[in-house]
């Protein structure tokens, strides 16, 4: 049966607008017709990210997203009502949301119909009936409906059963709900998903509701910690569920698509142990829940969607460690712009590729480093810098050069300084944003040794760093380089680090 139900909150809104005139989509040549004032101005249609300058929007801060969707697996039809709660940061005559999903049917601002038009790849331009003064809180309700396009891993993605999930970096959320799509504007997030009987829903945060609906049920998930758009997800499938606990306060809830149910539950049962090791490294787990979502689609990457990563079928322990390290690095502490992606990937890769084998399997971290370094030239890891790699190169050398950089830094300043600084940086930027330049300054403040040459070579250089930066501290013992421990597998003998698809 095809289901096209709205959530209770969406129905209430619709009833309140029955007597109002419908919102009118503006033609492409429309202009702002707000009368009587020239003071309010439109918010910018982007925030100037060096790689994605039209990501995000100016003039307001998003506070909360309430997303109600009805999804019909047989037809892939998606009905959506998204309510954005925000606060104006200037006197606004108009503002944008980022949205590339199904056709928009109507827009309301503070309960009154608003004009709207779609521009470019993802701009939804909204003109309220009256300007919004600076400092005012306001709500935007966007109704949309249509067949949801399959982006095949760049947002809304179909599964073999007819279900769907959302995953992609640096973008994905715009394919299924409108938002301010920038790392700089974190907000809390609620999703209500209505699906047919027999289908299950997984998302971020805590599952807070499951109520009957015509022909199915509506499942509610709430993320009370602030979150970035690409880290939000919803997954709809005939899932099997696994419940575990990290502590009295942190529940771990994981979901397995039909083909993943048997083969991946054994792996996911190790999650409490993984998170315990990560807490020892980086401080207390930063969110209210955890878990994982195992899909059975031919997905080329896994992704650190907040609290509950999306896992591709090839997922292994390295992937689980990597994506959960992101809960600290990338999710709690997030980039300021996409030049800073080493903040996410260098730490997650170092955790999975060196720290986990060291802590869990008692491997020699220097030996892992030296073996990887010996093979580095074959991978051309030096020509692309770790900081400001350039658009399209963000997710390249961060997986190989990144963990080498952090281990060399650790050997330069010593374990005590390194691990204390790492924990302090993560805690001081909890639920916020940071940059690689800020990370440099922070580490420099913890040591009397001048690190400028080291950082320039490892983060900004496009050539192999000098020997003094490649072999600091214990790494400078050339005898150790002759006694590198044997790899555990043929795959590790080829390259001991992740292959770059494990985002």
CB burial string 107-123: b at 16+ within 10 A, e below? bbbeeebbbbbbeeebb
The residue-averaged pLDDT of 302-326 equals: 98
Higher local confidence (pLDDT), 377 or 176: 176
The dihedrals phi and psi of 54, each to the nearest 5 degrees, come to -95, 5
Based on DSSP, count helices (H) and strands (E) in the chain, helices before strands: 15, 21
The residue-averaged pLDDT of 470-494 equals: 62
**Would you place residue 377 in the very low, low, confident or very high pLDDT band (cuts 50, 70, 90)?**
confident
Structure tokens at 117: 């038009």
Q: Does 320 have pLDDT greater than 60?
A: yes
The residue-averaged pLDDT of 377-389 equals: 92
Q: Tell me how far apart the alpha carbons of residues 109 and 142 are, in angstroms, rounded to a whole number.
A: 9
Q: Tell me how far apart the alpha carbons of residues 377 and 379 are, in angstroms, rounded to a whole number.
A: 5
Q: Does 239 have pLDDT greater than 90?
A: yes
User: Would you tell me how many other CB atoms lie within 10 Å of the CB of residue 387?
Assistant: 22
The residue-averaged pLDDT of 457-486 equals: 82
- Residue-wise pLDDT tens digits, 348-361: 999 999 999 999 99
Q: Does 165 have pLDDT greater than 90?
A: yes
Domains in the chain, CATH or no CATH each: 333-494 (1.10.390.10)
**Would you place residue 380 in the very low, low, confident or very high pLDDT band (cuts 50, 70, 90)?**
confident
- Residue-wise pLDDT tens digits, 398-407: 999 999 999 9
Q: Does 333 have pLDDT greater than 90?
A: yes
Amino acid 498: pLDDT: 53
């Amino acid at each position: 049966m095809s289901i096209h139900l709205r959530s209770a909150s969406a129905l209430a809104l619709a009833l309140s607008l029955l007597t109002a005139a419908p919102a009118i989509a503006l033609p492409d040549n429309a202009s702002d017709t707000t009368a009587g004032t020239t003071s309010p101005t439109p918010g910018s249609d982007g925030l100037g990210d060096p790689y994605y300058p039209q990501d995000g929007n100016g003039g307001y801060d998003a506070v909360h997203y309430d997303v109600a969707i009805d999804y019909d697996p047989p037809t892939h039809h998606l009905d959506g009502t998204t309510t954005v709660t925000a606060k104006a940061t200037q006197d606004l005559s108009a503002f944008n949301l980022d949205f590339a999903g199904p056709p928009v049917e109507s827009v309301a601002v503070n309960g009154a119909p608003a004009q709207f038009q779609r521009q470019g790849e993802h701009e939804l331009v909204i003109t309220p009936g009256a300007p919004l003064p600076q400092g005012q809180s306001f709500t935007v309700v966007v109704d949309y409906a249509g067949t949801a396009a399959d982006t095949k891993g760049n947002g809304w993605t179909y599964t073999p059963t007819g279900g769907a999930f959302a995953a992609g970096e640096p973008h994905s959320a715009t394919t299924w709900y409108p938002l301010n799509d920038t790392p700089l504007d974190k907000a809390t997030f609620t999703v209500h998903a209505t699906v047919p009987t027999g289908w299950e829903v997984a998302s971020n945060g805590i599952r807070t509701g499951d109520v009957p609906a015509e022909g199915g049920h509506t499942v509610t998930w709430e993320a009370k910690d602030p979150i970035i758009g690409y880290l939000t997800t919803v997954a709809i499938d005939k899932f099997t569920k696994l419940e575990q606990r990290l502590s009295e306060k942190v529940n771990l809830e994981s979901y397995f698509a039909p083909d993943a149910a048997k083969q991946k539950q054994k792996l996911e049962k190790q999650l409490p142990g993984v998170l315990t090791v990560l807490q020892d490294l980086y401080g207390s787990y930063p969110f209210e829940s955890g878990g994982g979502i195992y899909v059975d689609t031919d997905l080329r990457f896994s992704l650190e969607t907040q609290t509950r990563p999306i896992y591709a079928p090839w997922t292994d322990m390295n992937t689980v460690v990597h994506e959960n390290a992101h809960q600290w690095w990338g999710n709690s502490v997030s980039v300021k712009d996409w030049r800073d992606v080493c903040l996410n990937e260098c730490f997650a890769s170092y955790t999975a590729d060196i720290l986990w084998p060291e802590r869990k399997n008692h491997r020699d971290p220097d030996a892992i480093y030296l073996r990887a370094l010996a093979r580095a030239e074959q991978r051309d890891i030096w020509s692309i810098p770790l900081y400001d790699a350039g658009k399209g190169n963000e997710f390249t050398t961060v997986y190989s050069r990144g963990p080498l950089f952090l281990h060399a830094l650790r050997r330069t300043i010593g374990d005590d300084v390194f691990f204390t600084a790492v924990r302090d940086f993560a805690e001081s930027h909890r639920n916020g944003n940071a940059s690689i330049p800020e990370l440099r300054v922070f580490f420099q403040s913890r040591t009397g040794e001048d690190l400028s040459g080291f950082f320039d070579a490892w983060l900004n250089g496009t050539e192999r760093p000098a020997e003094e930066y490649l072999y600091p501290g214990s790494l400078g013992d050339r005898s150790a380089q002759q006694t590198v421990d044997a790899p555990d597998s043929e795959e590790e003998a080829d390259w001991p680090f992740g292959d770059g698809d494990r985002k």
